[in-house]
Amino acid sequence: MPETTTALNLIDGSWTGSPSVERRNPARPDEVVVTAPSSSASDVDAALAAAAAAQPGWAALPPPARGAILMDAADILRARHEDVARDLVAEEGKTLAEARGEVRRAIDVLRYFGGQGWLTEGDVLPSATPGTTVFTRREPLGVAGLITPWNFPIAIPAWKTAPALVSGNTVVLKPAELTPLTASNLAAALVEAGLPAGVLNVVHGRGSVVGDALARDPRVAALSFTGSTRVGLGLADVMNARRGRVQLEMGGKNGYLVLDDADVAAAASIVAAGGFGLTGQACTATSRVYCTPGVREAFVEALAKAAESVVVGDGLAPGTTMGPVVSYAQLAKDVSAVSEAVARGGRVVAGGSSAEGLAFRPTVVTDLAADDPLVRDEVFGPVVAVLEVPDLDAGIAAVNDSAYGLTAGICTTSLSAAHEFAARAQVGVVKVNRPTAGLDLNVPFGGVKDSSTNTFREQGPRATDFYTWGKTVYLGHS
């Protein structure tokens, strides 16, 4: 059994706190991976004081110099790539291949936003007044509070932290309670790259304590949250009441449409990748599929075979293609969601039960009503419901019939159908003949409806918009 490590708070450049909360390995629940503090509101206060004091000096640093620190942190993280990936597997549960890919994503995010330090922000515009030049500037907001989830424990902290920092803000990060070690690995790389004390602070603990304290403190000018819709909307209420800026990325119940002209084998592979990859624990995971009559039977058979071919187990074990779920609570939710659907008349054609420990087999369920809870509610596990629709129009309507609007996809060989779907799907990201999960870091990401605040997007060149405000300057020179 490996030696248990600790994940401490980072406040004003010092690693501090009394570790008291254990995080166990989802693949080996008897193994304690890391212990972390259960921080108090006073810890948040100290972190915010450090961030507020450090912000003017950090903002005064030229943007290329801020970006250079992100670049150096990327190099440090790359040198530790394998160790960080294995830490991620141990505390979150995904496969080593998936963890390696996520760490690679964090490295690339740091490099991308490091490069943003060399890009000009603002425009020079004509003025109607002679002898006058008009230009715009982007200014940092101040202190940003970041609350991140357990399912992407290094990628999401990276893609929130990097644009905030390169824009001249300081940060207080609250990582997920289930994944303190991976977030600490990111913070350590930034500190070692030369980030000044107080510019990045990390406070571990319960969302109801740490997250709530961040939302209520007037020193937090902006709060970016990724997590459940219920918690996100509650935080938004607090931020809106004090006119703070808030960015929410929340739940998803992502639909996929498979038309009669689709390649059934390819469609099943695409849906399996979106639904069972990452153990289905992604807000962009495929969770409901609508097939037109000509392909429904063949598609269900192909998807069931794809589900049965998945090897569930320890993410570090050779041959494993899907890791365990993250916790006993999540396992209970998966089991309950499927058993209750069966009680309502659903038919399980693959999976539907737990394996050893926290492993849950990839599951395909059919014969459900369109308004069945398994079709409507987010499960956050490797569970896919398959329904039938008569045609393209009905399929688009079914995909849109959801409280969520994050991603959606279509499998078709018709360019016309693809464009029609892309135009009418009520989601932030549309995938054509590609899995709903999996996103490029240089393009905007976000949703509509209960999936997002649908204001400022994450990732890509406009990710810094959330962390800055615009100023117009009139410069008279005659």
Q: Which residues are catalytic?
A: 283
Residue 248: strand pairing partners: 225
Task: List Cα–Cα distances, 308 to 98, 124, 274, 361, 364, in angstroms.
Answer: 20, 59, 15, 8, 10
Task: List Cα–Cα distances, 150 to 4, 25, 182, 295, in angstroms.
Answer: 19, 13, 9, 37
Nearest-angstrom CA–CA distance, 6 and 166: 29
Write out the two tokens for 191.
Answer: 């500190």
Nearest-angstrom CA–CA distance, 206 and 177: 7
- Angle of CA points 320, 438, 385, to nearest 5°: 75
- Angle of CA points 391, 393, 394, to nearest 5°: 65
- Angle of CA points 103, 104, 106, to nearest 5°: 65
Q: Please compute Rg for the chain using Cα positions.
A: 23
Sign of CA dihedral 145, 148, 153, 156: negative
Nearest-angstrom CA–CA distance, 59 and 62: 8
